[in-house]
Amino acid sequence: MLSQIFILSSKGDRLVYKDLRGEAAGSSMDLTDTFYRKITALPRDQAPVFMVHEGLHFVHVRHAGLYFVATTGHNISPFTIIEFLNRLVTLIHDYCGALSEKTISLNFALIYEMLDEMLDYGYVQTTAPDVLRNFIQMEPVLSKAFSLLDLGSVGLFGAETQQSKVAPSSATSRPVLPPHGDQGARNEVFLDIVERLTVVIAANGTPMKVDIQGEIRLKSYLPSCPEMRIGLTEEFCVGKSELRGYGTAVRVDECAFHSSVKLDEFESARVLKVNPSQGELPVMQYQLSDDIPSALPFHLFPMLERDPLGRLCVYLKLRCDLAPKSQALNVRVQLPVPKGVISLSQELSSPEQTAELQPSTKAIRWVIPRFQGGSQLSALFKLEIPGLSPASLLEVGPVNMSFELPMHTCSGLQVRFLRITAPSPALPHRWVRYVTHSDSYAICL
């Protein structure tokens, strides 16, 4: 059972605080201050997620810079607490829109009301959005900036528009649950296939580790819940042994479905049936490692040498191996360089790219806003390093990249159809979006 729950801003300001069992010793301010003091003064070798202070365990998750903290005096399941906090974050996001200090403080009364229904005496009662909807009376307050800016980004479905600066996966940052009396205005369903790619490539170019974490997320704005049928690629198979068809199969190592998904047609036709309630639902999660069907999206050809002036020249050639129609967005290349570096001169192959030396981490950060499939970019960095020794070349690398690939899945998983069976007055808009993103694509030099 939980004793208190509170939300702090990144600066330690208290946004929401609820004492669930009346067990708080001393004033509530002390408790949040204690937590913030502890977390900011924590030695680096200690993990911050679980902390203990005078018999009280503080457990927190961080989202959007905010601390969502639960406390307990009992030795209870850590998985349950973390999962509950994550669930709370998703629900606040569903109700109030994109998380920020401002959203929370504008909607604090709504959040208190949610907490009241979700937890009684420190015990979780329910977190199902369709149940909570019946009890929650307050209406979300939307911050102003949101309605203007985000309407623009709602239209960004991958390649449909050119200005897809915002990751398509986060396009729907407005609240899912509409204010009362405003129903039917948004008759939309989003089905997102989001994959997270983690790659390590050895110095000789062979992939050492390829790991894909995928998720199919359904985000429904529909007030009632008709049955939805999601058809996946027919040649979809799970596990290593089960290979059907010839070559084109989409294979994953393991997958897990949400408990509300009906799987009676999955074996025969790869159809998932689900009755979604309003809000976000993780329909399916899957993982795939090592053996991926398509080529890796990027290849790097590095060259290191010393020029006659004693500078270290790093020549990087980066090739994007996506199909020519696809592109990668927000590509960031991070290259650690020897600590003794004092200056950097650069030659980049096109003007929209930028590169800079980050003094704090001693790394070059090369930013490519847009990278067309099949093309190749290059960069030449000349580094001034006094006392350059052969050993300090060991300090160069590994290169780490982060990027987004809209309309692309590395596993090859596709959605054949998304049908809504129950008769509905107006056919809702259905959107299927794909995105692969990676924040850890490491290449050894």
Partner 1 sequence: MPYWGADEAVAELRRALANRHAQADRLRYRGVLLRVIRCMARGVDVSGLLPEMAKASATADPVQKKLVSLYMCSYAPRQPGLALLAINTLRKDCSDPSPVLRGLALRSLCNLRMPGIQEYIQQPILNGLRDKASYVRRVAVLGAAKMQKLQGDAEVDGVLVNELYSLLRDQDPIVVVNCLRALEEILRREGGVVINKPIAHHLLKRMSDLDQWGQSEVLAFLLRYKPRSEEELFDILSLLDEYLKSSSPSVVMAATKLFLVLAKDFPQVQIDVLIRVKGPLLAACTSESRELCFTALCHVRQILGSLPGHFSSHYKKFFCSYSEPHYIKCQKMQVLCELVNDENVQQVLEELKSYCTDVSAELAQAAIFSIGSIARTYTEQCVRILTELLGLKQEHIISAVVQAFRDLVWLCPQCTEAVCQALPGCEETMQDSEGKQALIWLLGVHGERVANAPYVLEDFVENVKSEMFPAVKMELLTALVRLFLFRPAECQDILGRLLYYCIEEETEMVVRDRGLFYYRLLQAGVEEAKRVLCSPKSEPSLGLLADQTEQPVNNWASEFNTLVPVYGKACWTVVTANWATEPHFRGFPCAPPVTAGTESLILAGNKEVLQVHSDVGGLTLIPRANLTAEEFEKTWLSLDVSCQQVLPWHGAAQPDTIQAALQVVHIQTIALSKAGAQPWKAYLSAQDESGCLFLAELLLEAESSEMQVSVKQSEERTEALQLFISVLRTVMGTILGLKS
Tell me which of 82, 237, 249, 344 binds partner 1, using CB under 8 A. 82
By beta-carbon proximity to partner 1, the closer residue of 350 and 389 is 389
Q: Which helix (H) or strand (E) holds 100?
A: none
Q: Where does this chain touch partner 1 (CB under 8 A) — which range of 167-175, 217-225, 312-320, 434-442?
A: 434-442
By beta-carbon proximity to partner 1, the closer residue of 285 and 372 is 285
By beta-carbon proximity to partner 1, the closer residue of 76 and 159 is 76
Q: Where does this chain touch partner 1 (CB under 8 A) — which range of 78-86, 184-192, 317-325, 372-380?
A: 78-86
Q: Which helix (H) or strand (E) holds 414?
A: none
Site for partner 1 in 377-396 (CB under 8 A): 389-392, 394-395
Binding residues with partner 1: total (CB under 8 A): 95
By beta-carbon proximity to partner 1, the closer residue of 146 and 257 is 257
Rounded CA separation 234/254 (Å): 17
By beta-carbon proximity to partner 1, the closer residue of 64 and 200 is 200
Least separation, in Å, of the C-beta of 280 and partner 1? Answer: 14
Cα 187 to Cα 153, 178, 183, 184, 421: the distances in Å are: 17, 11, 8, 6, 15
Q: Is 8 in the site for partner 1 (CB under 8 A)?
A: no
By beta-carbon proximity to partner 1, the closer residue of 338 and 428 is 338
Least separation, in Å, of the C-beta of 2 and partner 1? Answer: 12
Site for partner 1 in 177-196 (CB under 8 A): 196
CB atoms within 10 A of CB 202: 13
Contact in structure between 431 and 159 (CB atoms under 8 Å): no
* Nearest CA-CA partner of 435 in 296, 326, 314: 326
Helix (H, G, I), strand (E, B) or coil at 49: coil
- How many whole angstroms from its chain centre is CA 18? 28
Q: Is 86 in the site for partner 1 (CB under 8 A)?
A: yes
What binding mask, one character per residue, do residues 256-285 give for partner 1 by CB under 8 A, x or -?
xxxx----------------------x--x
Q: Is 238 in the site for partner 1 (CB under 8 A)?
A: no
Tell me phi and psi for residue 261, to 5 degrees.
Answer: -80, 130
Q: Is 101 in the site for partner 1 (CB under 8 A)?
A: no
- How many whole angstroms from its chain centre is CA 259? 22
Q: Is 330 in the site for partner 1 (CB under 8 A)?
A: no
Q: Is 93 in the site for partner 1 (CB under 8 A)?
A: no
Helix (H, G, I), strand (E, B) or coil at 209: strand
Q: Is 160 in the site for partner 1 (CB under 8 A)?
A: no
* Nearest CA-CA partner of 200 in 404, 338, 398: 398
Q: Is 243 in the site for partner 1 (CB under 8 A)?
A: no
Tell me which of 10, 77, 343, 354 binds partner 1, using CB under 8 A. 77
Type of residue numbered 188? E
CB atoms within 10 A of CB 179: 13
Got the DSSP string for 289-356? ES--SSPPSEEEEEEEEE-TTSPEEEEEEEEE-S-TT-EEEEEEEEEE--TT--EEEEEESSTT-EEE
Q: Is 375 in the site for partner 1 (CB under 8 A)?
A: no
Q: Where does this chain touch partner 1 (CB under 8 A) — which range of 94-102, 109-117, 155-163, 425-433?
A: 109-117
Cβ-based neighbours of 230, under 8 Å, separated by 6 or more: 191, 216, 218, 271, 272, 273, 274, 283, 415, 417, 418
By beta-carbon proximity to partner 1, the closer residue of 143 and 349 is 143
Q: Is 170 in the site for partner 1 (CB under 8 A)?
A: no
Contact in structure between 374 and 323 (CB atoms under 8 Å): yes
Least separation, in Å, of the C-beta of 330 and partner 1? Answer: 14
Tell me which of 400, 409, 411, 436 binds partner 1, using CB under 8 A. 400
By beta-carbon proximity to partner 1, the closer residue of 364 and 420 is 364
Rounded CA separation 330/168 (Å): 12
Site for partner 1 in 23-52 (CB under 8 A): 23, 25, 27-29, 44-50, 52
Got the DSSP string for 364-405? EEEEEEEEETT-EEEEEEEEE-TT--GGGGGGS--EEEEEEE
Site for partner 1 in 282-311 (CB under 8 A): 282, 285, 287, 289-290
Q: Where does this chain touch partner 1 (CB under 8 A) — which range of 21-29, 174-182, 304-312, 341-349?
A: 21-29
By beta-carbon proximity to partner 1, the closer residue of 186 and 262 is 262
Rounded CA separation 47/406 (Å): 34
- N- to C-terminal Cα separation, the chain: 50
Q: Where does this chain touch partner 1 (CB under 8 A) — which range of 154-162, 166-174, 208-216, 424-432?
A: 208-216
Least separation, in Å, of the C-beta of 109 and partner 1? Answer: 6
Q: Where does this chain touch partner 1 (CB under 8 A) — which range of 75-83, 229-237, 407-415, 423-431?
A: 75-83
